[in-house]
Amino acid sequence: MKAFDIPTVYKSETISAIKKSRQEDDHLKRDFNPTILDFGKVKIHLARHFGFCYGVENAIETAYAAIQDNPDKQIYLLSEIIHNQYVNQSLLENGVRFIMDTLGNQLISWEDITAADVVIIPAFGTTLEIERILKEKGIEQIYYRSKCPFVEKVWTRVSQIADKGYTVIVHGKPNHEETRATFSHSKSVAASIIIKDLREARLLADFIGNRRPPTDFYALFKGRYSEGFDVTRDLNRIGVVNQTTLLASETQQIADFLQRTIQEHHHLSDDQVAAHFANMRDTLCYATHDNQTAVINMLSLDADLAIVVGGYNSSNTSHLVELCEAKLPTYFISSSDSLLSDTEIEHWDIHRHRLTTSYAYLPSNSLTLHLTSGASCPDILIENVIRRLLSFYELSLNS
């Protein structure tokens, strides 16, 4: 795999050495068991796969290349390049400005951006509508290479579904940049709809099976279906694609459920299903799959608690938290700064979408910990978390 030129501010010699050793011992990535770091009173189960993925490293390399290549120009990012505060803050400190926030709210007016400026497309890609604005403004320096290739793979699958006359069902978080971009591309070539979870898949099944009046559809899925969507026509043949950072088991559950729904409604044999259902659930990216599988294997070991490090608005990181908290006490933190002391931790509640503080979270005499991070988290943040935790037990990385 390509080696990217990533600024040293994001790197950790300790974590790089661990990853290199695991890669050399298991270059085919068949062993998903965690690396065990034993410091005596503290034992850390470090997930086999975590941290920057291909798409993130590609985006960061591209962003810093844009900065270096254009020292006298104003450089803009359409929105956060990835969902990590540490990375985005570093880019701001290098003079990059964000045109929109992660929800698509305008931070800088398009009128303030000129053809002489530089624009970087974030890893999630962008909508056709925004690409049209950039083209109309005549901006020549647009860095498209920062887009994640696995997101573009989903768009390719969308085109394949559309060419065969299927309606596209996008499983994703409606407000997520990647889902908005995928939906924009999808609705330009096919009837399309966004569903966010299994509950909404069940709602959709009611319309497929004619168990609810079609008029209800337009209220329930307002703003999430393509123009001219016809419930009675466009749900007869469907294909499923997904936001690449979602929980793999949920995407599979939704795809399986909708396939059964279509099969039962049309009274199809197994051999006939493909005529009405195109299953594209394999659009989940490799890093999301590997990170989730690594966490599942890590959870087979006993531990006192789990810590997941990453951006609080990171979808793939939040799903790692979901996996962990189903098994044991789990704390979702942004950096070592969240470890306020050995008795106090500030962490993100993914259910209430707010910061909370917990107390007496560490056992006093010894600690066994599960540790991982999302695909947008720099390795240096993991190292800093390890150092901070060890200090609470009067230990160090050299212990």
Distance (Å, whole) CA 115 – CA 253: 46
Q: Which of 327, 388, 335, 333 is nearest to 355 (CA)?
A: 333
- From 178, 200, 322, 383, active-site residue: 178
For the question of residue 129 being annotated catalytic, the response is: no
Taking each helix axis from N to C end, the angle separating 13-25 and 379-392, rounded to the nearest 10 degrees, works out to 110
Radius of gyration, CA atoms only, the chain: 23
Distance (Å, whole) CA 42 – CA 21: 21
* Residue owning tokens 């107390």: 359
Q: Reading across the β-sheet that carries 35-38, which strands appear in turn?
A: 35-38, 42-46, 367-373, 305-309, 330-333
Distance (Å, whole) CA 121 – CA 116: 16
* Residue owning tokens 């950790």: 12
Distances (CA, A) of 146 to 48, 66, 80, 132: 26, 10, 12, 18
Distance (Å, whole) CA 332 – CA 314: 11
Q: Which two tokens stand for residue 159?
A: 């085109």
Percent helix, strand, coil in the chain (nearest 5)? 45, 15, 40
Residue type, 93: E
Contact 39, 395 (CB under 8 A): yes
List residues with catalytic annotation.
Answer: 178
